[in-house]
Amino acid sequence: MADVVTMDKIVSLSRRRGFVFPSSEIYGGLASAYDYGHYGVLLKENVKARWFEAMVRERDDIVALDSSIILHPKVWEASGHVEGFHDPLVDCRTCKLRFRADQLEHSRCGRKPSKHPGETDECDLTEPRHFNLMFKTRIGPVEETGMDAYLRPETAQGIFINFKNVAQIARRKPPFGIAQIGKAFRNEVTTGHFIFRTLEFEQMEMEYFVPPAEAEEWFRYWVEERFRWYVRLGLRESHLRVRPHGPDELSHYSRQTSDIEYLYPIGWSELEGIAHRGDYDLTAHSRTSGTKLEWVDGEERYTPHVVEPAAGVNRSMLAFMVDAYDEEEVAGRLRVVLRLHPALAPVKVAVLPLIPRNAEIATKARALYEELRRSVVAEYDDSGQIGRRYRRQDEIGTPWALTIDEQTLVDDTVTIRDRDSLAQERIPISAARAVVEDRLAADWTSPKAD
- Which span sits near ligand GAP by CB under 6 A: 35-43, 85-93, 195-203, 223-231? 195-203
CB of 205 to ligand GAP, least distance (A): 5
User: Helical H runs in 99-250?
Assistant: 156-160, 163-169, 215-232
Size of the site for ligand GAP (CB under 6 A): 19
**In this complex, which beta carbon is closest to ligand GAP, that of residue 156 or of residue 166?**
156
Q: Which of 87, 205, 326, 394 binds ligand GAP (CB under 6 A)?
A: 205
User: Helical H runs in 170-260?
Assistant: 215-232
**In this complex, which beta carbon is closest to ligand GAP, that of residue 233 or of residue 416?**
233
The residue whose Cβ lies closest to ligand GAP is 312
CB of 360 to ligand GAP, least distance (A): 50
Residues 6 or more apart whose CB falls under 8 angstroms from that of 345 comprise: 43, 46, 338, 396, 397, 398, 399
* Contact call for residue 261 and ligand GAP (CB under 6 A): no
Q: β-strand 129-132 against 86-91: which pairing, if any?
A: antiparallel
Q: Is 95 helix (H, G, I), strand (E, B) or coil?
A: coil
* Contact call for residue 278 and ligand GAP (CB under 6 A): no
**Interface with ligand GAP in residues 300-319 (CB under 6 A):** 308, 310-312, 314-315
SS percent in the chain: helix, strand, coil, step 5:
35, 30, 35
**Could you give the string, one character per residue 106-145, with x where binding to ligand GAP holds by CB under 6 A and - elsewhere?**
----------------------------------------
**In this complex, which beta carbon is closest to ligand GAP, that of residue 23 or of residue 120?**
23
Degrees, nearest 5: CA angle 376-41-354: 45
Q: List the beta bridge partners of residue 427.
A: 414
**In this complex, which beta carbon is closest to ligand GAP, that of residue 138 or of residue 252?**
252
CB of 155 to ligand GAP, least distance (A): 7
* Contact call for residue 186 and ligand GAP (CB under 6 A): yes
* Contact call for residue 154 and ligand GAP (CB under 6 A): yes
CA distance 19 to 11: 9
DSSP 391: H
**In this complex, which beta carbon is closest to ligand GAP, that of residue 235 or of residue 440?**
235
* Contact call for residue 256 and ligand GAP (CB under 6 A): no
CA distance 369 to 365: 6
CA distance 181 to 183: 7
CA distance 381 to 353: 8
422: left (phi over 0), alpha (psi -120 to 50) or beta: left
Write the CA distances from 352 to 16, 344, 408, integer angstroms: 21, 21, 12
Q: Which of 40, 177, 265, 273 binds ligand GAP (CB under 6 A)?
A: 273
**In this complex, which beta carbon is closest to ligand GAP, that of residue 182 or of residue 273?**
273
CB of 186 to ligand GAP, least distance (A): 5
Binding residues vs ligand GAP (CB under 6 A): 154, 156, 186, 188, 197-198, 201, 203, 205, 270-273, 308, 310-312, 314-315
